[in-house]
Amino acid sequence: MVVQAKSSSHNCSRTMEGNQHKVDANVLLLGAENVGKSALTVRFLTRRFIGEYGDIESIYSHIDKIDGREISFNIWDSLYPQDCETTETISEKQLQWADGVILVYSICDRSSFEVVRQQVHLIRHASRKIVSRKPE
């Protein structure tokens, strides 16, 4: 499920290469632990399924052609905080970095869906800043 996608954000850049545009897209994967975020990422990157994954937070890069356009995906495979005292599951840094967010939950684990609901709430209520300036 894509919750939020920024159109023409500062992160989503387009550069000319011949007649085509190259698009950079930063995608943040969120969800509870052990719901398949890494499996989904690896499947997208390699078209293969691997059974075992470690708890490693990483940003992966992948270039693909979609409708004749080259898209450079940067995928932040995030970790769900294990610390019970941590209430924020999404950092401001992650939200500022991301052009889009994918939320992942397990259909076999109702609590993972509740985590996604909480994350949707955090995304929708994240601080937004508007800056105005006067041209010199």
> pLDDT, tens digit, for every residue of 51-82?
777 777 788 999 998 888 899 999 999 887 65
Residues 6+ apart with CB under 8 A from 41: 29, 60, 75, 77
The whole-angstrom separation of Cα 114 and Cα 39 is 20
pLDDT value of position 129: 60
| Domain 2-124 classification at class level | alpha beta
Which pLDDT does position 19 carry in this prediction? 44
- Residue ranges, the chain, pLDDT below 70: 1-20, 81-89, 127-132, 136
What's the predicted TM-score (pTM) here?
Answer: 0.71
